[in-house]
Amino acid sequence: MKYEIIGEPLPVVICHLDGGETLVSEKGSMSWMSPNMKMETVAGGFGKAVGRMFSGEAMFQNRYTAEGGEGMIAFASSFPGTIMAFDITPGCDIIAQKSAFLASEAGVTLSVHFRKQLGAGLFGGEGFIMQKLSGQGTAFVEIDGYCKRYDLGPGEQLIVDTGYLAAMTAGVKMDIQSVAGIKNKLFGGEGFFNTILTGPGTVWIQSMPISAVAGALSVFMPGK
């Protein structure tokens, strides 16, 4: 498969497949394709379907296969931002924010990923339930707004506000820490908790999470 990502801040990934190659996507992601791309809707087993539902995706996925020769298919982002391509290999999983998955080669497995720490479970908000991309192949992930990459060394930390973590390698440790000081909690406007990311590994931070945009716009909605 060959691909190109174009069109920021409203990006689209255009994939060129050899005959017989297959891509998997969530429902509604396909934007345009060549006539020889055959679509098949699958669940992939009840357990996997339920896991995808918890991770913010649909229970069913669409499989697109190029038949009778080379095919072309395009997947567009649902929000202004960035589409990133990750090369997934065995033992090198990617953990992404809820609803980040856009499409992938058939060898990539999408599953739900729960943060095991008690603090993350109770106070992690959107960061508690995430998506795990494993297996073998290229996966395309949606990131809200601009994306900044940080490579963390062993023990190196980064403090992130809830919702701004877009993706990370599986080796990065994530925990929740209370903001110090009652005045900071009540009047700082940054919430009661921060997400602490500890290396080694790589993290990708997004500048415009959908939840933050929704919150900013809500004050202008009727009835507010």
* pLDDT confidence tier of residue 4, bands split at 50, 70 and 90: very high
pLDDT value at residue 99:
84
Closest C-alpha among 132, 127, 118, 131 to residue 211:
127
26-40, 47-61, 109-123: range with highest mean pLDDT: 26-40
Which domains are delineated in the chain?
2-218 (3.60.160.10)
Could you give the CA distance from residue 129 to residue 136 in angstroms, rounded to a whole number? 23
Sign for the CA dihedral angle at 128, 129, 131, 135 comes to: positive
Could you give the CA distance from residue 72 to residue 67 in angstroms, rounded to a whole number? 11
pLDDT value at residue 184:
46
Residues 187-221 have pLDDT tens digits of 444 556 788 999 999 999 999 887 777 666 676 77
Residue type present at position 216: A
* C-alpha torsion angle, residues 208, 11, 103, 130 (rounded to 10): 0
pLDDT value at residue 117:
52
Three-class DSSP category at 216: helix
Q: What are 73's strand-pairing partners?
A: 15, 33
Burial 134-165 (b: 16+ CB within 10 A, else e): bbebbbbbbbbbebeebebeeeeebebebbbb
pLDDT value at residue 58:
57
The radius of gyration of the chain from alpha carbons, rounded to an integer in Å, stands at: 19
Could you give the CA distance from residue 142 to residue 134 in angstroms, rounded to a whole number? 17
What are the structure tokens assigned to 210, written together?
């959908």
Residue scoring higher pLDDT (51 or 140): 140
Residue 165's contacts (CB-CB under 8 Å, 6 or more residues apart) are 97, 127, 174, 195, 197, 203, 204, 205, 206
Q: What is the mean pLDDT of the chain?
A: 83
pTM above 0.95, yes or no: no
pLDDT value at residue 161:
86
Lowest mean pLDDT among 40-54, 81-95, 124-138: 40-54
> Cα 200 to the chain's mean position, in Å?
20
62-66, 123-127, 189-193: range with highest mean pLDDT: 62-66
Three-class DSSP category at 127: helix
Could you give the CA distance from residue 79 to residue 172 in angstroms, rounded to a whole number? 26
